[in-house]
Amino acid sequence: MIQKETYNQSFKALFQNLLPFVKPYKGMIAGTLLLTLIGSFAAQVNPILVNETVNRVEELLRQPDPFQNGMRLLLIISAIMIANELLNIGIQFGQKYFGEKIRIQVGSDLSQKAVDRILSYKMSFFAEPGNQTGYLETRINRGVESLIRLVQNFFLDILPLFSTAIIALVVMFNANVYVGLMALVIIPVYFYVSQRQAHRLKGWRRELRGHRERKNHGLINIIDSITVIKSFVREKIEGEKQFEVQMEMLDNQLQTRRTSYVFESLKSFIQQIGVVLIIILTVYLVLDGQMGIGAIMMHIMLFRNVSAPISQLHRIYDQINDALIYADGFFEVLDNDGAVEIGGPVMAEDVQGQFEVRDVNFTYPNGKQALYDVTLSLEKGKTTAIVGLSGAGKSTLINLLSKFYKPDDGVITLDGIDLEEYENGSLRDHIGLVLQKNHIFKGSIYDNILYGKIDATREEVMEASVKAYLHDQVLTLPEGYDADASNLSGGQQQRIAIARLFLKNPPVIFLDEPTASLDAIATEHIKMSLDAIKEGRTVVIISHSLSQIVDADVIHVLKEGRLVETGSHESLYKLDGEYRKIFDASARSLNLGKMLDTLAV
């Protein structure tokens, strides 16, 4: 009982959530409904016509010259039937086309709304468990798919069938109350069987989808890790893992089919019993003189109209269930007002780049505290290096400075104004961010650089490309700037990121290990580019490269989320603490002694 109530509640919620998306098409919906209604009436014309025809023919047979009048009757009936069929074609086309149009438009609105909402959410939304790339995508896709199917079902399947059934039932009652009652009595039995079928298949269908996903995922995994699989000779194990999934799926599919066939046969048997009962009753009524002989055929045909939608019930029930399950997850993504990124009123203009971080604590949405009581300054126009072992909180600090996340407590100011006060877009327009691996969009090199400043001229793009040491390399490509950027090497992609930075020309620059995955020449080029862009800007650099650290005006050392040392390279080295430990280890890893010997020769 409780379950049923929750079911009704979620159904209501689903309907309310979906309503705003369907509303814009209310004219089209009203038209479709009208066509549906006309179609439902038209569907009863044939049975009624058959009734008339048989009764008239039977009458004609008793007349001396049945042919003369018969021909006229034949002509009239044929004309009505053809006219009705033509009308039906028109109605069906209109109804299907508009139903489909509603479905497609609602589907595209739902998808676009999801995209718009997601773009408006803060970074912490994406860091939440359950919102990572794969999961979020699946939730949205599944939600849209099941809602589209629901809309389609409603307009293209349920409504026409049910309105046809109801009108057929009314016609049956109108012709004879007992026949109508007989048809009505069979419906609950039929209904019950359909519902049992839906119930039995419910779990299995979901399981089947799970198997399918695991199968696809398994395959993707194999392709992704083929080098490791081959190098460890694990082909057999991987094959066996897939085989298990395959077997489970096979089992499930066979069971689903078996159940379906049993229920389909049962339903078809019940329907046949219904037909038989209708025949018995109508024949009795005909023999009793209460009806013309044509009524037998008419009622059989009408009964088929009545029973048709019920045979679809299990499918409809199933799809509504699906929609209830997946729509919840989908609308949760859509209605997450708390996740919307809200900026302050201050438009960042003429940014100097003086940051103050005061007593900042920060915890990620998964509960991991990454910064403890951090207080530091980033001087305007200076280069500050953040040093620390992996996991010390360096990137987290840059995330907070970019206002991607909000501190738990404490405050970060830029030019004396709390970051929270700034309008987000205007703030980020003044910040350039280069990461270890920068995202390169599918598309040409030119377009990828242009992303830094959408309205840049071709000359500006070229200039930025030259400054980023990219231009000469692009010229060696057959397609030049039109070449697909996603095929470039890591070093070349990094140069694109630097070129974007030159184009954007921000007063504040955050560099998060910009040369970590590059070869020596690329590292040198990028260091030269960065040295050129650093002039007069506030730069924060995270790097493991000693050359980039020692160049910094100030160095902050983080350890396990806490600021432990601050100073210049020389002073920190003398301090003989955390910085020196890291510096010495880096120097040893470079085998500096031997290198110096080589260079001295």
- What SS3 string covers 365-413? CCCCEEEEEEEEEECCCCEEEEECCCCCCHHHHHHHHCCCCCCCEEEEE
- Cβ 436 to ligand ADP shortest distance, Å: 10
394 binds ligand ADP (CB under 6 A): yes
Nearer to ligand ADP, 165 or 555 (CB): 555
Nearer to ligand ADP, 127 or 297 (CB): 127
Question: Which residue stretch of 131-139, 257-265, 272-280, 394-402 sits at the interface with ligand ADP (rule: CB under 6 A)?
Answer: 394-402
Site for ligand ADP in 270-289 (CB under 6 A): none
* Element (DSSP H or E) covering residue 495: helix 490-504
Distances in Å between the alpha carbon of 564 and those of 36, 263, 375, 394, 465? 74, 72, 10, 13, 39
153 binds ligand ADP (CB under 6 A): no
- Cβ 388 to ligand ADP shortest distance, Å: 5
Site for ligand ADP in 353-392 (CB under 6 A): 364, 366, 368, 370, 388, 390-392
Nearer to ligand ADP, 260 or 369 (CB): 369
Residue count at the site for ligand ADP (CB under 6 A)?
13
- Cβ 368 to ligand ADP shortest distance, Å: 4
Site for ligand ADP in 396-435 (CB under 6 A): 396
- Give φ, ψ of 576 to 5 degrees: 60, 40
Distances in Å between the alpha carbon of 111 and those of 29, 127, 147, 506? 20, 22, 11, 34
Q: Three-class SS of residue 555? A: strand
- Cβ 17 to ligand ADP shortest distance, Å: 30
Distances in Å between the alpha carbon of 503 and those of 452, 455, 481, 490, 515? 6, 10, 16, 20, 20
Token readout for 539 is 């730069």
Nearer to ligand ADP, 391 or 593 (CB): 391
395 binds ligand ADP (CB under 6 A): yes
Q: 453: burial class by Cβ within 10 Å (0-12, 13-18, 19+)?
A: middle
Sign of CA dihedral 572, 577, 582, 586: positive
- Cβ 396 to ligand ADP shortest distance, Å: 3
The residue among 556, 533, 541, 549 whose CA lies nearest residue 584 is 549
Token readout for 599 is 């260079």
d(CA 331, CA 14): 9
Tokens 């989908």, residue located: 330
Nearer to ligand ADP, 22 or 398 (CB): 398
The residue among 503, 363, 371, 507 whose CA lies nearest residue 427 is 507
Nearer to ligand ADP, 473 or 494 (CB): 494
Amino acid occupying residue 35: L
- Cβ 268 to ligand ADP shortest distance, Å: 56
Binding string, 112-131, against ligand ADP, x = CB under 6 A? ---------------x----
Nearer to ligand ADP, 239 or 391 (CB): 391
Token readout for 587 is 């120097």
160 binds ligand ADP (CB under 6 A): no
- Cβ 565 to ligand ADP shortest distance, Å: 15
Nearer to ligand ADP, 390 or 476 (CB): 390
- Cβ 526 to ligand ADP shortest distance, Å: 19
d(CA 84, CA 50): 13
- Give φ, ψ of 515 to 5 degrees: -120, 15
Nearer to ligand ADP, 3 or 366 (CB): 366
Contacts made by residues 198-207, CB under 8 angstroms, sequence distance 24+: 198/313, 198/314, 198/315, 198/317, 198/318, 198/321, 200/259, 200/263, 201/256, 201/259, 201/260, 201/314, 201/318, 202/318, 202/321, 204/252, 204/255, 204/256, 204/259, 205/256, 205/318, 207/252
- Cβ 556 to ligand ADP shortest distance, Å: 12
The residue among 133, 150, 145, 136 whose CA lies nearest residue 108 is 145
Nearer to ligand ADP, 271 or 396 (CB): 396
Nearer to ligand ADP, 47 or 393 (CB): 393
Q: If phi over 0 gives left and psi between -120 and 50 gives alpha, with beta otherwise, what is residue 436?
A: alpha
Among 160, 274, 294, 393, binds ligand ADP (CB under 6 A): 393
In angstroms, how far is CA 351 from the centroid of its own chain? 38
Nearer to ligand ADP, 147 or 542 (CB): 542
In the chain the first and final C-alpha atoms are separated, in Å, by 89
Nearer to ligand ADP, 44 or 395 (CB): 395
- Cβ 235 to ligand ADP shortest distance, Å: 34
Nearer to ligand ADP, 474 or 582 (CB): 582
d(CA 178, CA 285): 10
- Cβ 370 to ligand ADP shortest distance, Å: 4
133 binds ligand ADP (CB under 6 A): no
- Cβ 326 to ligand ADP shortest distance, Å: 26
DSSP bridge pairs for 383: 539
- Cβ 560 to ligand ADP shortest distance, Å: 9
Token readout for 501 is 């930075």
- What SS3 string covers 63-79? CCCHHHHHHHHHHHHHH
- Cβ 314 to ligand ADP shortest distance, Å: 44
Q: Which residues bind ligand ADP (CB under 6 A)?
A: 127, 364, 366, 368, 370, 388, 390-396
